[in-house]
Chain A
């Protein structure tokens, strides 16, 4: 089991910053996803208006959440499916295991599910004698490596192809040792071949759900590989894992959200496979699961709804805020210590785990605002991060250095004359010191900053001084 390390955020970051392989992988995310999203958003003239609509749909749904969930449950049951409610991860695990045991399941294929990660379902099934097999290529790779995902839509984005080849050699022992695994297409072919039998022989298929549709009682998965569809079509039982905020009123509302989801996530116009599932196989159908179950998890979300963070429940898990975050792009996903990284994780994790367990995460932001700028449902992530920071201060959860520094800063900030008296000469000195290079490699009092990046040199004057000059 991958233990949560949210409380060791600072040491995680130190390790991540000097991990050369990770740094190389992160450069790829920055260029690929960010570039593709830009193109996709510019190609659709209505994109910004659709984001407003998407935000409004999620806000409306959350304001009527109990009503839509009740309608959803009625419609799932009317189409022959089952809805199971879980207050926390323990209840969710027990429900899933009971369903598996009711059909004497031995193997379980899995599509990608962040709820599955949240409740660590694989470990629980293994402990109880079942074999869970991740089928999304990225999830399969990290399952072989015994790791947690480092990105919510690209779980193995931190792994190099050489590391994938090592993991395959280690696991696929029945294949010739001297085979070539140098090229990505060789790795792809091997993964395809190895997972075929698993799909066909699995007893239960577990997927996530991007949306639950109240109008029709459907669950929706959005994938590119087709693994989710094989997972939910071939076994006799399909279990969809979801959480309370996934419900959306109608097919039309879901369609609006789908118009912004893939464009924000990967920059695709639409993902390869968007699948709307409603109930088990019908009497005359030749394929499809005989049983259809949906597990709906709370796990702290009702507390978010009741508190100051209900806007976070709009999140549709596209990953755009991760891709555009300078902090995520410097430290990767594992440093955040749990399943949700980046700005959305820094807001969500303290809400789900408790602030005591994740007090450092809201600090992991420069508040540059890029995340809010690209969020398809316009979640004010920087404001929410500030709200957590307030609570960290009020509840006295921060470290003593930060508190001490803030107190001293307050002494100066509250006294403008004193502030200017010190700030002026300091800027002058730093400007003079860095006059040739335009940046500083080392500042004694700012070692934490200069260890991993240069400090842009001050121009020699404070903002106030420049303001006075320019106004004249």
Chain B
């Protein structure tokens, strides 16, 4: 659209004219490209720069402070029983809409024959969903998930109960570590990021009615995190 191009050029031109007082355009472009090529090191809070085991504890503490619940199991094969126990504790049917993450493909689901696992996107009728986290960030108890063909985004937002599996080895101190992992593991030209990266810190909440915090307004009312030591 040529009109659009003109508008963009016009706005960028106005910005350029204002900035030309202090610098020239080529220098600005070079500085910007250099910063993107090698971003300056961030100031990373000390809080989560602790041992891996302490990071797991810190992650759980912060997640629970924002009303998530957490569980910890030893083996991947303990997952079906842990899921069934959680669903039953919440009086939910033993049925789950699940991500097709390769990690979950390695689980022996026959161990819990009463638990039904469906794959695919979440729909309105789904009461509970199961997803796999790319990372858990100890600094604030934040989960990182990202969209992929096997990980539909609707699983994270539509059902009332969101259960997330987090391998212990994916718990890190800070967000920066996760950005680098994403760049290395998934990064590809032209865009270095998956379609959506979700940072999730606790369940859905609102304070819009008289500033009283209530959970589960549009997204999940419950966020349950299962940390797996050996996965």
Seen from chain B, the residues whose Cβ lies within 8 Å of a Cβ on chain A are 4, 7-8, 10-12, 14-19, 22-23, 25, 28-29, 31-33, 35-36, 39-43, 45-47, 62, 65-66, 120-121, 124, 139-142, 147-149, 152-154, 156-158, 175-176, 179, 189-212, 214, 216-220
Q: Is the CB of A87 within 8 A of B7?
A: yes
Known: A66-B19, A161-B210, A249-B35. 6 other contacts (CB 8 A): A32-B207, A49-B43, A60-B35, A79-B190, A196-B124, A273-B198
Q: Pick from B4, B141, B191, B193: contact of A84, CB below 8 A.
A: B4
> Distance in Å from the Cβ of B193 to the closest Cβ of chain A?
4
State in angstroms the CA–CA spacing of A45 and B44 once bound together.
Answer: 11
Contact with B along A33-57 (1 / 0, CB 8 A): 0000000000011100110010000
A137-B206, A154-B211, A255-B175 known; A278 vs B39 contact (CB < 8 Å): no
CB atoms of B219 and A272 under 8 A apart: yes
Query: Are A230 and B158 closer than 8 Å at their CB atoms?
Result: yes
B29: which of A67, A138, A249, A273 is its contact (CB, 8 Å)? A67
- Determine, out of A281-289, A329-337, A366-374, A399-407, the stretch whose residues face the partner at the interface: A281-289
Cβ distance A304 to chain B, nearest Cβ, rounded Å:
9
A75→B154 CA distance, assembly (Å): 25
Separation of A278 and B195 alpha carbons in the complex (Å)? 5
Report which residue of B22, B149, B209 has the largest number of chain A beta carbons within 10 angstroms of its beta carbon.
Answer: B209
B148 contact set on A, CB distance < 8 A: 285
Docked-complex contact B196 and A305, CB < 8 angstroms:
no
Do residues B149 and A302 form an inter-chain contact, with CB atoms below 8 A? no
Q: How far is the CB of B82 from chain A (nearest CB, A)?
A: 24
The tally of residues in A whose CB lies under 8 Å from a CB in B reads 102
Partner of A249, one of B17, B39, B42, B124: B39
Identify which of B23, B121, B198, B214 contacts A184 (C-beta below 8 A): B214
Q: From A212-220, A340-348, A354-362, give the one contacting chain B.
A: A212-220
Which residues of chain B are near A207, meaning CB under 8 Å? none
What mask results when residues 258 to 293 of chain A are scored 1 for a CB within 8 Å of chain B, else 0? Answer: 110000001011111111111111101111100000
Contact indicator A85/B8 (Cβ below 8 Å): yes
- The distance from the CB of B163 to the nearest CB of chain A, in whole angstroms, is 16
Verify A91–B197 contact, CB threshold 8 A: no
Whether B66 and A218, one on each chain, are in contact in the complex, defined by CB atoms closer than 8 angstroms, is: no
Query: In the complex, what distance in Å separates the CA atom of A296 from the CA atom of B198?
Result: 23
Q: What are the residues of chain B within 8 A of A6 when measuring CB–CB?
A: none
The residue in A73, A156, A226, A281 that gathers the most chain B C-beta atoms within 10 A of its C-beta is: A226
Residues of B contacting A285 in the complex (Cβ-Cβ under 8 angstroms) = 147-149, 152, 195
In the complex, what's the smallest C-beta–C-beta distance from B22 to chain A, in angstroms? 7
Residues of chain A within 8 A of B154, CB atoms compared: 233-234, 287
Across-interface contacts of A282 in B (CB, < 8 A)? 147, 149, 195
Q: How far is the CB of B213 from chain A (nearest CB, A)?
A: 9
Kindly identify which residue among A73, A279, A305 contacts B191, using a CB–CB cutoff of 8 Å. A279
Please, how many angstroms separate the alpha-carbon atoms of A237 and B29 in the complex?
Answer: 32
CA distance A279 to B191 in the complex (A): 9
Of B25, B147, B217, chain A has the most CB atoms within 10 Å of the CB of B217
Q: Which residue of A45, A50, A195, A274 is within 8 Å of B199 (Cβ)?
A: A274
Q: Tell me whether A272 and B208 are in contact in the complex, defined as CB-CB below 8 angstroms, given that A192-B217, A285-B149, A302-B15 are known contacts.
A: no
Chain B residues with Cβ below 8 Å from A53 are 42-43
Check A305–B18 contact: CB distance below 8 A: yes
B211 to chain A, nearest CB (A): 5
Other-chain residue from A154, A288, A310 in contact with B196 (beta carbon distance below 8 A): A288
- Give bound CA distance, A315 to B73, whole Å: 44
**Of A137, A255, A269, which one neighbours B176 at CB under 8 angstroms?**
A255
- Name the residue among A46, A85, A138 with the largest chain B CB count within 10 angstroms: A85
Asked if A280 meets B195 with Cβ closer than 8 Å, knowing A141-B208, A251-B39, A271-B201, the reply is yes
**Would you call A126 an interface residue if the criterion is a C-beta within 8 Å of the partner chain's C-beta atoms?**
no
Give the complex CA separation of A278 and B198 in angstroms. Answer: 12
In the bound complex, CA of A188 to CA of B214 (Å): 8
Contact A227 B217 (CB under 8 A): yes
Please report the C-alpha to C-alpha distance between residue A159 and residue B40 in the assembled complex, in whole angstroms.
Answer: 44
Assembly CA distance A234 to B206 (angstroms): 21
A70–B46 CA distance with the chains assembled, in angstroms: 35
What residues on A are CB-neighbors of B189 within 8 Å? Answer: 78
Cα distance A84–B8 in the bound complex, in angstroms: 8
B39 touches A252 (CB 8 A): yes
Shortest C-beta distance, A223 to chain B (Å), equals: 9
Q: Are A63 and B211 in contact (CB-based, < 8 A)?
A: no
For residue A465, which residues in chain B have a CB less than 8 angstroms away from its CB? none
- Is B198 within 8 A of A275, CB to CB? yes
Q: Is A64 an interface residue (CB 8 A)?
A: yes
A25, A199, A298: which contacts B14 (Cβ < 8 A)? Answer: A298
**Contacts A/B (CB < 8 Å), 10 sampled:** A25-B210, A45-B46, A155-B208, A192-B216, A216-B193, A233-B157, A252-B40, A276-B193, A286-B121, A288-B195
A446 part of interface (Cβ distance < 8 Å): no
Query: Is the Cβ of A287 less than 8 Å from the Cβ of B121?
Result: yes
Residue from A68, A224, A269, A281 within 8 A of B206 (CB atoms): A224
Q: How distant is the Cα of A286 from the Cα of B148 in the complex, in angstroms?
A: 8
Could you tell me if B205 and A272 are in contact, using CB atoms closer than 8 angstroms? Answer: yes
Of A25, A187, A192, most B-chain CB atoms within 10 Å: A192
